[in-house]
Amino acid sequence: AIVISPLDVNALAPAIEQAIQAGVPVVTIDRRVDGVEGILAHVGADNVKGGEAEAQAMVAAFPNGAKIFHLQGQPGAGPAIDRNKGVHNVLDPMKDKYQIIFEQTANFARAEALSVTEAGLAANGKPDAIICANDDMALGAVEACAARNFTDVK
Q: Are 54 and 70 members of one domain?
A: yes
pLDDT one-digit tens code per residue, 41-55:
989 889 999 999 999
For 42, 102, 152, the CA distances from 149, given in Å and listed in that order, are 43, 19, 9
| 16: phi then psi, degrees, rounded to nearest 5 | -65, -40
Q: Are residues 8 and 77 in the same domain?
A: no
Provide the pLDDT confidence category of residue 31 given band limits of 50, 70 and 90. confident
User: What secondary structure letter does DSSP report for 30?
Assistant: S
69: domain CATH number is 3.40.50.2300
Dump pLDDT digits (tens) for 121-149: 999 999 999 999 999 999 999 999 999 99
Q: Looking at residues 115-125, what average pLDDT do you find?
A: 97
